Amino acid sequence: MIQKIALVGFGTVGQGLCEILAAKEKELLEKYNYQYLIVAVSDPRFGTAYNSAGLDMEQVFNEVRSDQKFTTDGCPWDSLEMIRNSNADVVCELAFTDLNTGEPAIAHCREAFATGKHIVTSNKGPAALAYAEMKSLADKHNVDFRIEGTVMSGTPVLNLTDGPLAGCSISAVKGILNGTTNFMLSEMEQGSDYTAALAKAQALGYAEADPAGDVEGYDARAKVTILANVVMGEKLSITAVDCTGITALTPEDIMEAKAENTRWKLIGSVTKSSEGLSAYVRPERVPLTHPLAGIMGATNALTFKTDLLGDVTIVGAGAGKTETGFSILSDLLAIHRAETILPENRL
Amino acid sequence: MIQKIALVGFGTVGQGLCEILAAKEKELLEKYNYQYLIVAVSDPRFGTAYNSAGLDMEQVFNEVRSDQKFTTDGCPWDSLEMIRNSNADVVCELAFTDLNTGEPAIAHCREAFATGKHIVTSNKGPAALAYAEMKSLADKHNVDFRIEGTVMSGTPVLNLTDGPLAGCSISAVKGILNGTTNFMLSEMEQGSDYTAALAKAQALGYAEADPAGDVEGYDARAKVTILANVVMGEKLSITAVDCTGITALTPEDIMEAKAENTRWKLIGSVTKSSEGLSAYVRPERVPLTHPLAGIMGATNALTFKTDLLGDVTIVGAGAGKTETGFSILSDLLAIHRAETILPENRL
C-alpha cells in the first residue's frame, strides 16, 4: 500500500521531512517496503497545493523558494478543508506550536480524526494541552495519534518506550529536555553572563526572538506533560507541573556550583509513587558524577526508571531540521508497519 | 495465538525470564494481547521436562530448587531431540556462551531453524561466530533469529536500531560494552590495584572465576562483532577485531589519566568509512567532558553515529538476571507482533 501524506505547515520540519523522503526513497522501499505520495501541502504563506495522484515536489520546492503562492496544483481549500477533502491517509501536522491554546493544531487533528486520517506531529500543542481528547478521538476512528517529534525531536523516546521497552513499567522520567537553556548554561559556565549567552543562542538559531518559551521552562513543561500522559499513562494537566526557568540564575550561582563539583541543569521530571504523581521543571545542581551533568550544549537526555532494567538513559539531539524531519519519518514508518497487521490482531 | 516456548538452559537467564513472565502474565495480556505457554525446559543438570500443553512451572522451579532431575513431565530427550520434537514455536537458547566454538548453542540454533522454530538468545556464541549462517538459515525457514540480549542485556540496542531508528543509516558504533572491566576501572580510580579490583568484581558476581573473557576484552570483542554484522550489515569476522584488554593498566596509568582530566575506559568500536571497516577493543583515555567518561561501575553505554540524528547514545545495564531475562521477553514480544503481520506484507 502506498502511503498518501498531507502536510499542514511547510516550514523547516515539513521541508526537512520531504528532503529526507526524496533522498531515501529507494532505501525505504528496499529495506521497509515503504512507498509514499505527498498529495497535499497547506501553509498560511503559500496556500494549498493538492493532487490526489501525488504532487510534483520539485515544483512545490521551486515555488516555495521563489516565495510565491502555489500555482501548479493550486487549490482554494484552506488547511481544514484540505484535511477534510483530500485523499490522504496521514496528515502531518507541522504548523507552529501555541502552548496557550494549542490552535490551530488541535482543530487540524480533530478534523483529521473525524475523517479517518492518522495524525503525525512534532507540534507540542495538541499533546500537551489535549492528549486525552486526541487519543480518544484517534482510537474512536481507528487511526493513530503519533508524536515522537514532540520530545527530543527524532531521538527515540516515545517509540522507544512503546517498542523496545514494551514489557517494562516506567515509574519516573527525568532529564534535560530543552537544548536552548542547556546551551546557555554551558556558555555561562565558560564565563558568559545571561544576556550574552542568550544573544549567542539567538544568533545560532537555538532561541526564538521571544525566548520566554525556553528560558521560563514552558517548552520543557509541555514535554514533561506529554511524557506523563504518554509514557506513564497519567492524566496530568500542563498547569499542574511546577515550573521555574533559568532567568534567575546568576554567573555567581554558576561559578559557586562549579567550585563544588556540581553543575546547574534545567531538569524536567515526573515521578509516580505511592503518594501520587510529582512533576516539575526547575534548575537543579547536579553532581558532576551524575550522567546528566555531562550533557553539554544543545543536546538533550532523558532517564527512564524501569522495573526490569533499572535506569535507561537516551542522549541525543533535541531539535533541528533533519532531526525533527526524521521524527516524522519514524512515525510514518510505524504507521506503515501497523497497517500491515491483521485487523483481528489489532488491539 | 498462544506462543509456545521451549527453554534450552535453565540457569540465571532462563529462571529470570520465567519469573518475569509469571509476574507480568496479566499485564502482558492486557497491554499486548500476549499469551504464552512454556512447553519444554532442557538443561544438562536437570534433564528435559516436556508437556505439549504447557509445563507446570511452579513444579519445575520446585524440582530445580531441590536440585533433582525433572520427574513431573520428565522426558528422555536431550536438548537437540527436544528442539526437534517439541511443539514449541520459539526456542530460547540460554545455554552457556563458548566464544571459541559457539557450541552447543550453534547446533541448537541450526536444529531450531531446520524444524521451523524461532530462536531468541542472549548467547553471544552463534551471533559472534556464525551470524551470516544463522541469519540465512532463519530466513530460509521463515523464522526469526533474535539476539537483543547479546549486547547490553535488555537495554535496547538491536531492537532500537531495528525499530525506532529505522530509516537512519549508522556509520559507527562505539561504547563501553563490558560492565566487569568498567567496574574494575572505576575501583582502580578509587585507589584499588588491579588484583583487588578483580577480587571485588568476582565477589560481587560481575567477573567469572576465570576472568579472561572480561579482562582480555574477548566479551567486548564478541559484542563489537555482533554490532558490525547486525547494526551495520557488515560481514565482520571476530578474529578481524583488534583486541587489547585492561590487564596491562597500572594504578600509575589510572592516576596519570585522572591528573590530566581524562579517564581510562575499555572501548569497543566499529566504524565504516570510505577506507573500509575498522573495528577494535582497547583501553582509551577519554576526556572527562566526553559522555562515555561519566559511565561508572557496571553500567554500559553505546553511541550510534547516524546520518539523520547525529550521535544517539543509550546508557543502561549490561548484565543481570532480570535485565537479561527482559531481553528475552522483549524479543518474544517482537515475534508476537510480527506473527500478526499479513504474510503478503512480510519482507
ipTM score for this prediction: 0.95
Contact flag A312-B315 (C-beta cutoff 8 Å): yes
Scanning B296-315 for CB atoms below 8 A from A yields 296, 308-315
Q: Could you give the CA distance from residue B215 to residue B194 in angstroms, rounded to a whole number?
A: 10
Contact flag A342-B342 (C-beta cutoff 8 Å): yes
Residue B278: which H helix or E strand, with range? strand B276-287
Which residue among A289, A296, A329 places its CB closest to the CB of B296? A289
- Name, in order, each residue with C-beta under 8 angstroms of A48's C-beta and a sequence gap of 6 or more: A40, A41, A42, A70, A74, A75, A76, A77, A78, A79, A81, A82
The crossing angle, in degrees rounded to 10, of helices A179-189 and A194-203 is 130
DSSP one-letter code for A249: -
Q: Provide the number of CB pairs (under 8 Å) joining chain A to chain B.
A: 149
Distance from CA of B267 to the nearest CA of A (A): 18
Chain centroid, CA A87 distance in Å: 25
pLDDT of residue B289: 76
> Which three-class secondary structure state does DSSP give residue A211?
coil
- Name, in order, each residue with C-beta under 8 angstroms of A186's C-beta and a sequence gap of 6 or more: A296, A297
What would the grid cell of residue A231 be? 509514557
Which residue among A156, A325, A347 places its CB closest to the CB of B164? A156
The answer, for A24 touching chain B at a CB cutoff of 8 Å, is yes
Residue B60: which H helix or E strand, with range? helix B57-65
Catalytic residue among B223, B265, B272, B321: B223
Distance from CA of A63 to the nearest CA of B (A): 26
The answer, for A168 touching chain B at a CB cutoff of 8 Å, is yes
Closest CA to A169 of A26, A310, A18, A283: A310
Predicted confidence (pLDDT) at residue A343 exceeds the cutoff of 60: no
- Count Cα atoms within 13 angstroms, Cβ side, for A297: 9
User: How many residues comprise chain A?
Assistant: 347
Contact (Cβ atoms closer than 8 angstroms) between residue A117 and residue A142: no
**A301 → chain B, closest CA residue:** B313
pTM over 0.90: yes
Scanning A257-296 for CB atoms below 8 A from B yields 289-291, 293-296
What would the grid cell of residue B222 be? 564478541
pLDDT of residue A345: 46
Distance from CA of A8 to the nearest CA of B (A): 22
pLDDT band at A341 (very low <50, low <70, confident <90, very high): low
Q: Which residues of B201-228 are buried (b: 16+ CB within 10 A; e: fewer)?
A: beeeebbeeebebbbbbbbbbbbbbbbb
- For β-strands B47-50 and B74-75, DSSP reports them as antiparallel
- Name, in order, each residue with C-beta under 8 angstroms of A106's C-beta and a sequence gap of 6 or more: A125, A126, A129, A130, A134
pLDDT of residue A206: 85
Q: Could you give the CA distance from residue B130 to residue B102 in angstroms, rounded to a whole number?
A: 8
What would the grid cell of residue A85 be? 477533502
Q: Could you give the CA distance from residue B90 to residue B308 in angstroms, rounded to a whole number?
A: 35
The answer, for B347 touching chain A at a CB cutoff of 8 Å, is yes
Contact (Cβ atoms closer than 8 angstroms) between residue B128 and residue B43: no
Phi-psi region of A30 (alpha: psi -120 to 50; beta: other; left: phi over 0): alpha
DSSP one-letter code for B204: T
User: B234-238, long-range: CB within 8 Å, 24+ apart, which pairs?
Assistant: B234/B270, B234/B272, B234/B277, B235/B132, B236/B270, B236/B277, B236/B279, B238/B99, B238/B128, B238/B129
Mean pLDDT confidence for A40-63: 97
Residue A115, classified by CB atoms within 10 Å of its CB into exposed (0-12), middle (13-18) or buried (19+), is: middle
Predicted confidence (pLDDT) at residue A228 exceeds the cutoff of 50: yes
Determine how many CB atoms are found less than 10 A away from the CB of residue A131: 21
Contact (Cβ atoms closer than 8 angstroms) between residue B174 and residue B290: no
Q: Could you give the CA distance from residue B343 to residue B333 in angstroms, rounded to a whole number?
A: 18
Q: Could you give the CA distance from residue B266 to residue B244 in angstroms, rounded to a whole number?
A: 9
| Average pLDDT for runs of 10 along chain B of length 347 | 96 97 97 97 97 97 94 96 98 94 97 98 98 98 97 97 96 97 94 94 85 96 98 96 96 94 96 95 91 89 97 95 97 90 47
Contact flag A310-B316 (C-beta cutoff 8 Å): yes
End-to-end CA distance of chain B: 21
Contact flag B325-A333 (C-beta cutoff 8 Å): no
Q: Could you give the CA distance from residue A324 to residue A320 in angstroms, rounded to a whole number?
A: 6
Distance from CA of A185 to the nearest CA of B (A): 15
Residue B98, classified by CB atoms within 10 Å of its CB into exposed (0-12), middle (13-18) or buried (19+), is: middle
- Name, in order, each residue with C-beta under 8 angstroms of A26's C-beta and a sequence gap of 6 or more: none
A-chain residues near B163 (CB < 8 A): 159, 163-164
- For β-strands A47-50 and A36-43, DSSP reports them as antiparallel
Contact (Cβ atoms closer than 8 angstroms) between residue B149 and residue B124: no
> Which three-class secondary structure state does DSSP give residue A34?
coil
End-to-end CA distance of chain A: 21
Give, in degrees to the nearest 5, the angle at Cα A149 between A143 and A152. Answer: 145
Predicted confidence (pLDDT) at residue A89 exceeds the cutoff of 90: yes
pLDDT of residue B341: 58
Q: Could you give the CA distance from residue A282 to residue A268 in angstroms, rounded to a whole number?
A: 7
The answer, for B148 touching chain A at a CB cutoff of 8 Å, is yes
Max Cα–Cα distance, chain A, nearest Å: 63
Work out the percent of chain A whose per-residue pLDDT is above 90. 90
Contact (Cβ atoms closer than 8 angstroms) between residue A35 and residue A339: no
The answer, for B335 touching chain A at a CB cutoff of 8 Å, is no
Which residue among B167, B289, B320 places its CB closest to the CB of A296? B289
Contact flag B166-A295 (C-beta cutoff 8 Å): no
Q: Could you give the CA distance from residue A180 to residue A206 in angstroms, rounded to a whole number?
A: 5
Interface test with A, best of B122, B176, B309 (most A CBs within 10 A): B309
Distances in Å between the Cα of A146 and the Cα atoms of A19, A96, A138, A150, A230 are: 21, 17, 10, 9, 10
